[in-house]
Structure 1
Protein backbone atom coordinates (compact mmCIF):
# COMPACT_ATOMS: atom_id res chain seq x y z
CA UNK A 1 0.00 0.00 0.00
CA UNK A 2 1.08 3.55 -0.55
CA UNK A 3 -0.06 6.68 1.16
CA UNK A 4 -1.23 9.93 -0.38
CA UNK A 5 -0.26 13.35 0.84
CA UNK A 6 -3.23 13.45 3.28
CA UNK A 7 -2.07 10.11 4.90
CA UNK A 8 -5.07 8.16 3.59
CA UNK A 9 -4.08 4.67 2.37
CA UNK A 10 -4.39 3.97 -1.33
CA UNK A 11 -5.28 0.49 -2.56
CA UNK A 12 -2.97 -1.12 -5.03
CA UNK A 13 -4.53 -3.30 -7.73
CA UNK A 14 -3.10 -6.61 -6.39
CA UNK A 15 -4.55 -6.23 -2.86
CA UNK A 16 -8.15 -6.71 -1.78
CA UNK A 17 -9.20 -4.50 1.13
CA UNK A 18 -9.41 -6.38 4.46
CA UNK A 19 -7.63 -9.54 3.17
CA UNK A 20 -4.08 -10.42 4.24
CA UNK A 21 -1.42 -10.80 1.61
CA UNK A 22 -0.16 -14.25 0.66
CA UNK A 23 3.17 -13.67 2.39
CA UNK A 24 1.42 -12.84 5.71
CA UNK A 25 -0.52 -16.13 5.90
CA UNK A 26 1.38 -19.14 7.36
CA UNK A 27 1.04 -22.45 5.54
CA UNK A 28 -1.61 -24.84 6.90
CA UNK A 29 -0.54 -27.47 9.45
CA UNK A 30 0.46 -30.79 8.01
CA UNK A 31 0.89 -33.83 10.23
CA UNK A 32 4.23 -35.58 9.85
CA UNK A 33 4.17 -38.53 7.52
CA UNK A 34 3.95 -41.85 9.33
CA UNK A 35 6.70 -44.22 8.31
CA UNK A 36 7.84 -47.55 9.69
CA UNK A 37 10.85 -46.08 11.49
CA UNK A 38 8.70 -43.80 13.66
CA UNK A 39 6.29 -46.55 14.74
CA UNK A 40 7.94 -46.92 18.17
CA UNK A 41 7.05 -44.11 20.56
CA UNK A 42 9.77 -41.92 22.00
CA UNK A 43 10.56 -42.67 25.65
CA UNK A 44 10.47 -39.59 27.85
CA UNK A 45 12.27 -39.76 31.18
CA UNK A 46 10.23 -38.57 34.21
CA UNK A 47 11.26 -35.31 35.83
CA UNK A 48 12.97 -35.37 39.19
CA UNK A 49 10.96 -34.11 42.18
CA UNK A 50 11.44 -30.40 42.79
CA UNK A 51 12.93 -30.88 46.24
CA UNK A 52 15.89 -32.83 44.82
CA UNK A 53 16.79 -29.98 42.50
CA UNK A 54 19.39 -27.76 44.10
CA UNK A 55 22.20 -28.30 46.52
CA UNK A 56 22.80 -31.75 47.96
CA UNK A 57 22.73 -31.96 51.73
CA UNK A 58 26.43 -31.75 52.44
CA UNK A 59 26.62 -28.99 55.03
CA UNK A 60 27.27 -29.42 58.74
CA UNK A 61 25.10 -31.90 60.61
CA UNK A 62 22.63 -30.53 63.17
CA UNK A 63 22.35 -31.34 66.85
CA UNK A 64 20.19 -34.14 68.26
CA UNK A 65 17.90 -32.64 70.92
CA UNK A 66 16.15 -34.75 73.51
CA UNK A 67 12.40 -34.32 73.14
CA UNK A 68 11.71 -34.54 76.90
CA UNK A 69 14.44 -32.02 77.70
CA UNK A 70 13.04 -29.59 75.11
CA UNK A 71 9.53 -29.88 76.54
CA UNK A 72 10.89 -29.33 80.07
CA UNK A 73 12.88 -26.28 78.93
CA UNK A 74 9.77 -24.88 77.26
CA UNK A 75 7.83 -25.20 80.54
CA UNK A 76 10.63 -23.75 82.70
CA UNK A 77 11.19 -20.77 80.37
CA UNK A 78 7.44 -20.14 79.99
CA UNK A 79 7.59 -20.87 76.27
CA UNK A 80 10.62 -18.78 75.33
CA UNK A 81 12.67 -21.90 74.58
CA UNK A 82 10.41 -22.52 71.58
CA UNK A 83 11.79 -19.35 69.97
CA UNK A 84 15.33 -20.66 70.48
CA UNK A 85 14.32 -24.09 69.12
CA UNK A 86 12.77 -22.55 65.97
CA UNK A 87 15.85 -20.38 65.45
CA UNK A 88 18.41 -23.11 66.02
CA UNK A 89 16.75 -25.94 64.08
CA UNK A 90 15.90 -23.68 61.12
CA UNK A 91 19.49 -22.42 61.01
CA UNK A 92 20.89 -25.96 61.17
CA UNK A 93 18.61 -27.15 58.36
CA UNK A 94 19.58 -24.18 56.16
CA UNK A 95 23.31 -24.66 56.80
CA UNK A 96 23.01 -28.39 56.10
CA UNK A 97 20.90 -28.29 52.94
CA UNK A 98 21.48 -24.78 51.63
CA UNK A 99 17.71 -24.28 51.50
CA UNK A 100 15.05 -23.06 53.90
CA UNK A 101 14.23 -19.89 55.77
CA UNK A 102 17.16 -19.89 58.19
CA UNK A 103 17.28 -18.96 61.85
CA UNK A 104 16.73 -15.20 61.67
CA UNK A 105 13.57 -15.38 59.58
CA UNK A 106 12.30 -18.31 61.69
CA UNK A 107 12.76 -16.30 64.89
CA UNK A 108 11.04 -13.27 63.38
CA UNK A 109 8.09 -15.38 62.21
CA UNK A 110 7.90 -17.16 65.58
CA UNK A 111 7.64 -13.83 67.40
CA UNK A 112 5.26 -12.08 64.99
CA UNK A 113 3.09 -14.89 63.59
CA UNK A 114 4.02 -17.92 65.66
CA UNK A 115 1.14 -20.07 64.43
CA UNK A 116 2.88 -20.57 61.05
CA UNK A 117 6.06 -22.06 62.50
CA UNK A 118 4.74 -25.59 63.17
CA UNK A 119 3.85 -25.83 59.48
CA UNK A 120 7.17 -24.41 58.26
CA UNK A 121 9.34 -26.42 60.65
CA UNK A 122 7.66 -29.71 59.80
CA UNK A 123 7.82 -28.92 56.08
CA UNK A 124 11.54 -28.13 56.17
CA UNK A 125 12.30 -31.20 58.29
CA UNK A 126 10.41 -33.37 55.80
CA UNK A 127 12.29 -31.81 52.90
CA UNK A 128 15.58 -33.04 54.39
CA UNK A 129 14.30 -36.56 53.77
CA UNK A 130 12.87 -35.77 50.32
CA UNK A 131 16.21 -34.40 49.10
CA UNK A 132 17.68 -37.83 49.77
CA UNK A 133 14.84 -39.60 47.99
CA UNK A 134 13.34 -40.85 51.26
CA UNK A 135 9.72 -40.68 52.39
CA UNK A 136 9.29 -37.73 54.78
CA UNK A 137 7.97 -38.68 58.23
CA UNK A 138 6.58 -35.15 58.69
CA UNK A 139 5.20 -32.56 56.27
CA UNK A 140 3.53 -29.17 56.56
CA UNK A 141 0.29 -31.05 57.27
CA UNK A 142 1.85 -32.25 60.54
CA UNK A 143 1.43 -28.66 61.75
CA UNK A 144 -2.32 -29.25 61.94
CA UNK A 145 -1.71 -31.22 65.16
CA UNK A 146 -0.49 -27.99 66.72
CA UNK A 147 -3.36 -25.82 65.51
CA UNK A 148 -6.34 -28.16 65.74
CA UNK A 149 -5.70 -29.71 69.15
CA UNK A 150 -4.13 -26.78 71.02
CA UNK A 151 -7.30 -26.27 73.01
CA UNK A 152 -7.20 -29.80 74.48
CA UNK A 153 -4.63 -29.45 77.29
CA UNK A 154 -1.85 -28.77 74.79
CA UNK A 155 -2.07 -32.30 73.43
CA UNK A 156 -1.79 -31.07 69.83
CA UNK A 157 1.43 -29.08 70.32
CA UNK A 158 2.99 -31.97 72.24
CA UNK A 159 2.09 -34.50 69.51
CA UNK A 160 3.39 -32.09 66.85
CA UNK A 161 6.66 -31.52 68.72
CA UNK A 162 7.27 -35.22 69.40
CA UNK A 163 6.74 -35.99 65.68
CA UNK A 164 8.78 -33.08 64.29
CA UNK A 165 11.66 -33.18 66.78
CA UNK A 166 11.77 -36.98 66.43
CA UNK A 167 11.99 -36.69 62.63
CA UNK A 168 14.79 -34.13 62.92
CA UNK A 169 16.67 -36.27 65.44
CA UNK A 170 16.33 -39.38 63.25
CA UNK A 171 17.59 -37.45 60.24
CA UNK A 172 20.60 -36.01 62.10
CA UNK A 173 21.45 -39.48 63.43
CA UNK A 174 21.31 -40.87 59.86
CA UNK A 175 23.90 -38.25 58.99
CA UNK A 176 26.22 -39.29 61.81
CA UNK A 177 25.14 -37.03 64.69
CA UNK A 178 25.03 -38.33 68.25
CA UNK A 179 22.99 -37.17 71.23
CA UNK A 180 24.86 -34.20 72.65
Structure 2
Protein backbone atom coordinates (compact mmCIF):
# COMPACT_ATOMS: atom_id res chain seq x y z
CA UNK A 1 0.00 0.00 0.00
CA UNK A 2 1.40 3.36 -0.94
CA UNK A 3 0.61 6.62 0.75
CA UNK A 4 0.49 10.00 -0.97
CA UNK A 5 3.35 12.29 -0.18
CA UNK A 6 2.72 14.87 2.50
CA UNK A 7 2.37 18.39 1.27
CA UNK A 8 3.99 21.14 3.24
CA UNK A 9 2.74 24.69 3.46
CA UNK A 10 5.22 27.27 2.19
CA UNK A 11 7.17 29.11 4.84
CA UNK A 12 6.60 32.79 5.45
CA UNK A 13 9.10 35.09 3.75
CA UNK A 14 11.95 36.16 5.99
CA UNK A 15 11.23 39.87 5.64
CA UNK A 16 7.63 39.57 6.87
CA UNK A 17 7.05 41.10 10.29
CA UNK A 18 5.42 38.64 12.67
CA UNK A 19 3.42 40.37 15.38
CA UNK A 20 2.69 37.32 17.52
CA UNK A 21 -0.55 35.58 18.35
CA UNK A 22 -3.82 37.37 17.80
CA UNK A 23 -5.52 38.73 20.88
CA UNK A 24 -9.13 39.30 19.89
CA UNK A 25 -10.99 42.44 20.90
CA UNK A 26 -14.54 41.62 21.92
CA UNK A 27 -17.57 43.72 22.80
CA UNK A 28 -17.66 43.59 26.64
CA UNK A 29 -21.46 43.92 26.87
CA UNK A 30 -21.94 41.27 24.21
CA UNK A 31 -19.65 38.88 26.06
CA UNK A 32 -21.28 39.67 29.40
CA UNK A 33 -24.99 39.67 28.52
CA UNK A 34 -25.76 39.32 24.81
CA UNK A 35 -24.25 36.05 23.71
CA UNK A 36 -24.74 34.20 27.02
CA UNK A 37 -28.47 35.05 26.92
CA UNK A 38 -28.80 33.94 23.30
CA UNK A 39 -26.92 30.67 23.91
CA UNK A 40 -28.49 29.98 27.32
CA UNK A 41 -25.17 30.43 29.11
CA UNK A 42 -23.03 28.20 26.90
CA UNK A 43 -21.08 31.14 25.45
CA UNK A 44 -19.63 31.93 28.88
CA UNK A 45 -17.71 28.63 28.77
CA UNK A 46 -16.62 29.30 25.16
CA UNK A 47 -15.40 32.79 26.09
CA UNK A 48 -13.58 31.50 29.16
CA UNK A 49 -11.78 28.87 27.07
CA UNK A 50 -10.90 31.34 24.31
CA UNK A 51 -9.40 33.97 26.60
CA UNK A 52 -7.23 31.36 28.30
CA UNK A 53 -6.11 30.04 24.91
CA UNK A 54 -5.17 33.57 23.81
CA UNK A 55 -3.28 34.27 27.05
CA UNK A 56 -1.41 30.95 26.76
CA UNK A 57 -0.40 31.83 23.20
CA UNK A 58 0.76 35.25 24.36
CA UNK A 59 2.88 33.80 27.18
CA UNK A 60 4.12 30.89 25.02
CA UNK A 61 4.47 28.76 28.12
CA UNK A 62 3.65 25.06 27.80
CA UNK A 63 2.23 24.90 31.32
CA UNK A 64 -0.29 27.72 30.79
CA UNK A 65 -3.80 26.40 31.48
CA UNK A 66 -6.23 26.47 28.60
CA UNK A 67 -9.07 24.01 29.12
CA UNK A 68 -8.58 23.52 32.86
CA UNK A 69 -10.17 26.78 34.04
CA UNK A 70 -13.21 26.19 31.84
CA UNK A 71 -13.55 22.62 33.13
CA UNK A 72 -13.43 23.93 36.70
CA UNK A 73 -16.44 26.11 35.94
CA UNK A 74 -18.22 23.31 34.13
CA UNK A 75 -17.71 20.48 36.61
CA UNK A 76 -16.89 22.11 39.96
CA UNK A 77 -19.33 25.00 40.05
CA UNK A 78 -21.36 23.12 42.65
CA UNK A 79 -18.55 23.67 45.17
CA UNK A 80 -18.99 27.46 45.00
CA UNK A 81 -15.34 27.93 46.00
CA UNK A 82 -13.60 26.50 42.92
CA UNK A 83 -15.20 28.91 40.42
CA UNK A 84 -14.16 31.94 42.47
CA UNK A 85 -10.60 30.61 42.77
CA UNK A 86 -10.61 30.13 38.99
CA UNK A 87 -11.95 33.66 38.40
CA UNK A 88 -9.32 35.11 40.73
CA UNK A 89 -6.51 33.25 38.95
CA UNK A 90 -7.90 34.42 35.63
CA UNK A 91 -7.55 38.00 36.85
CA UNK A 92 -3.94 37.26 37.79
CA UNK A 93 -3.30 35.82 34.31
CA UNK A 94 -4.83 38.90 32.70
CA UNK A 95 -2.56 41.10 34.81
CA UNK A 96 0.46 39.00 33.70
CA UNK A 97 -0.67 39.29 30.08
CA UNK A 98 -0.88 43.07 30.46
CA UNK A 99 2.67 43.11 31.83
CA UNK A 100 3.84 40.85 29.00
CA UNK A 101 2.23 43.21 26.46
CA UNK A 102 4.10 46.17 27.97
CA UNK A 103 1.03 47.74 29.56
CA UNK A 104 0.55 48.89 33.14
CA UNK A 105 -1.01 46.15 35.27
CA UNK A 106 -4.50 47.59 35.68
CA UNK A 107 -6.43 44.35 36.18
CA UNK A 108 -7.44 43.73 39.79
CA UNK A 109 -8.21 40.02 40.35
CA UNK A 110 -10.03 40.67 43.65
CA UNK A 111 -12.31 43.25 42.02
CA UNK A 112 -13.04 40.95 39.08
CA UNK A 113 -13.89 38.09 41.42
CA UNK A 114 -16.17 40.26 43.55
CA UNK A 115 -17.90 41.58 40.44
CA UNK A 116 -18.77 38.00 39.50
CA UNK A 117 -21.20 38.09 42.44
CA UNK A 118 -22.96 41.08 40.85
CA UNK A 119 -24.79 39.42 37.91
CA UNK A 120 -21.49 38.13 36.56
CA UNK A 121 -20.19 41.65 35.91
CA UNK A 122 -16.65 40.35 36.34
CA UNK A 123 -16.89 39.12 32.75
CA UNK A 124 -17.51 42.70 31.65
CA UNK A 125 -14.56 43.95 33.72
CA UNK A 126 -12.18 41.21 32.55
CA UNK A 127 -13.10 41.75 28.89
CA UNK A 128 -12.45 45.49 29.18
CA UNK A 129 -9.02 44.66 30.60
CA UNK A 130 -8.35 42.11 27.84
CA UNK A 131 -9.39 44.64 25.18
CA UNK A 132 -6.57 46.90 26.39
CA UNK A 133 -4.10 44.19 25.40
CA UNK A 134 -5.73 43.71 21.98
CA UNK A 135 -5.70 47.48 21.34
CA UNK A 136 -2.05 47.76 22.35
CA UNK A 137 -1.22 45.04 19.82
CA UNK A 138 -3.12 46.90 17.09
CA UNK A 139 -5.74 44.19 16.68
CA UNK A 140 -9.42 44.83 16.23
CA UNK A 141 -12.57 42.75 16.03
With structure 2 as the length reference, what TM-score do the two structures score?
Answer: 0.70
1:169 and 2:131 correspond: yes
Match of 1:68 among 29, 33, 38: 29
1:73-131 Cα shifts (integer Å, max 9, x gaps): 11122221111011000001101112463322122122123333321222111111223
1:123 and 2:92 correspond: yes
Structure 1 residue runs of 4+, over 6 Å off?
none
Match of 2:64 among 101, 126, 134: 101
Q: Is the 8 A contact 1:109 1:116 kept in 2?
A: no
Q: Is the 8 A contact 2:25 2:134 kept in 1?
A: yes
Higher mean alpha-carbon deviation, 125-134 vs 63-72, is at: 125-134
Task: Give the 3 Å change call, closer, same or farther, for CA 175–168 of structure 1 in structure 2.
Answer: same
Whose helix fraction is larger, Structure 1's or Structure 2's? 2
Task: Give the 3 Å change call, closer, same or farther, for CA 133–92 of structure 1 in structure 2.
Answer: closer
Ranked by relative contact order (alpha carbons within 8 Å, sequence separation 6 or more), the top structure is 2
CA distance in 1 between partners of 2:48 and 2:34 (Å): 16
TM-align CA RMSD:
2.1
Report the equivalent of 1:139: 108
Structure 2: unaligned runs, 5 residues or longer:
1-18, 77-82
With structure 1 as the length reference, what TM-score do the two structures score?
Answer: 0.56
Q: Is the 8 A contact 2:25 2:130 kept in 1?
A: yes
Task: Give the 3 Å change call, closer, same or farther, for CA 143–95 of structure 1 in structure 2.
Answer: same
Match of 2:46 among 81, 84, 93: 84
Which structure has the greater CA radius of gyration? Answer: 1
Structure 1: unaligned runs, 5 residues or longer:
1-57
